[in-house]
Amino acid sequence: MALLNFRKREAAPAPVNRQVEAFLDGYSIEVMPRTAEKVENFRDLLPKGTRVYIAHIEGTPIADMVATAARLAREGYPVMPHFPARIIRDRATLADWIARYQGEAGVEQALLLAGGVEKPHGDFHSSMQLLETGEFDRAGFKRLHVAGHPEGNRDIDPDGSRRNVDEALRWKQKFSETTDAQMAIATQFAFDAKPIIKWADDLRAAGITLPIHIGIAGPAKLQTLIKFAIACGVGPSLKVLQKRAMDVSKLLLPYEPTEVLGALAAHKAADPACLIERVHFFPLGGIKTNAQWAIDNGGASGTPAAQQG
């Protein structure tokens, strides 16, 4: 008698949401020098051409930032280092950083932001001041991103309004008309699609046309996300995580951005003119975990569209 084979069948992979797959086209991801050091080869994780932001945390030597940029460039990735205004002492320092990034890593993209430090280290306190120097245009940068806050920013608007952040975006919109560099808004992460969509629609109604690269937290433990969300000043959408934490059946399961990305992708499909153009991942649960999730959900970064948009 033949022996029956009762070997357990592997579960079939979940079908890919085609709207999410389209929305993930050209996604970008963020790293820091200390996390990049733990990755033996980024080509094992990310498709060639994926835009990689390099976060510049206060205290990180510029040499470490430039070395990380050079390493990623050698492995085939366009890099976009952060330029946090409040840790740049003066215009000479800014020019030096730009020259080092270009000379050692061929950098031609940058994310300009105020930075998370309370007291400026020198002459600059905002990304607008960095833009006004003209150093990025002089160096021929092809792409400049600026920060966006779908749920506001208490550091910029302590009263909870949007007055200062909205005024800054209007200024940046006008500046975009004077530079040869392509500009876009890269945002803080959020967990609820509704305030993100309303924010984007409000910007469009106010005459803002800068495309939005929406920040999304990658898969991670729920406790990890809540910690980062509080530290980064995430607004009302933090309630999405807090509600999940109250559900015992979900408490121990890792968070995945399936719901928020699904809603954003559906909105983008229904309104192609929406300012929300691409996805930018914050890999709070690890680069490898985030990269694998993107692959499993149809993400194919590094396409011609990604390099152009």
The total number of structural domains in the chain stands at: 1
Q: Is residue 11 part of a domain?
A: no
**CATH number of the domain encompassing residue 289:** 3.20.20.220
**Structure token digits, residue 217:** 């937290």
Task: Specify burial of residue 249 (Cβ count, 10 A radius: 0-12, 13-18, 19+).
Answer: exposed
Q: Is residue 6 part of a domain?
A: no
CB under 8 Å to 54, separation ≥6 — which residues? 30, 31, 32, 33, 36, 65, 68, 69, 72, 79, 80, 81, 82
Q: Is residue 3 part of a domain?
A: no
Give this prediction's pTM. 0.87
Q: Is residue 4 part of a domain?
A: no
Q: How many CA atoms lie within 13 A of 69 on its CB side?
A: 28
Residue with token string 């968070």: 255
Q: Is residue 137 part of a domain?
A: yes
Angle at which helices 238-245 and 222-231 pack, to 10 degrees? 150
Give the per-residue pLDDT at 307: 44
CB under 8 Å to 250, separation ≥6 — which residues? 222, 244
Give the per-residue pLDDT at 250: 57
Give the per-residue pLDDT at 227: 74
Q: Is residue 296 part of a domain?
A: yes
What's phi and psi for 32, nearest 5 deg? -120, 155
Q: Is residue 8 part of a domain?
A: no
Q: Is residue 10 part of a domain?
A: no
What's phi and psi for 267, nearest 5 deg? -65, -40
**Structure token digits, residue 88:** 């740049």
**The domain containing residue 54 runs over which residues?**
18-308
Stretches in the chain below the pLDDT threshold 50: 1-12, 248, 302-308
Query: pLDDT digit string (tens) for 260-273?
Result: 999 999 999 999 99
Q: Are 83 and 111 in contact (CB under 8 A)?
A: yes
